Amino acid sequence: MIKSHQLICCQQSWERTQSKKRRLMRRSKFELHLDILKALSHGAPMKQTQIMYKVNICYQFLERYLDFLIKQGLVEIRAIDGQRTTYVITQKGLSALSKYQDLKMFLPIIEENRNSHNASTLLRQCERSAEEDSPK
């Protein structure tokens, strides 16, 4: 029989592992493009540094991804006072972001099933470990 403190320790271990995996996972180009569109969708035009901090991406990659989004017509450049360059999301960009959000509504079901499978596998491993450790 597994004891409650052993179960809690196993659960905490699993949560730490999942947290570490999330931190170490790299975002795909697609995810980075979406993160930039999300940042710009909040309204006011943004400078590159603002987008950079909001999306958590280095300057060189941001330039590359912004260039791609501009060429696709999802983002456009606006000059303020003829000096500062800012970026805004276009109607096409908002539409693409909206379609992604609609699609994402179906994805948590798949992700949820995958996570519950991982949790049940870990729980079985913890139970086996506790049975081996318990005196007979």
pLDDT digits 0-9 by tens, 82-114? 778 999 999 999 999 998 888 877 666 555 555
pLDDT category, 29, cuts 50, 70, 90?
confident
Give the span between the Cα atoms of 33 and 94, in whole angstroms: 12
| Residue whose structure tokens are 């276009």 | 90
Q: Which domains does the chain have, with CATH numbers?
A: 26-107 (1.10.10.10)
For residue 124, pLDDT beyond 70: no
For residue 14, pLDDT beyond 70: no
For the chain, the maximum distance between any two Cα atoms, rounded to a whole number of angstroms, is 81
| Contact by Cβ (8 Å): 29, 65 | yes
Bridge partner list, 80 = 84
φ and ψ of 69, to 5 deg: -65, -35
pLDDT digits (tens, 9 = 90+) for 69-86: 999 999 999 987 777 899
Per-residue model confidence (pLDDT) at position 104: 75
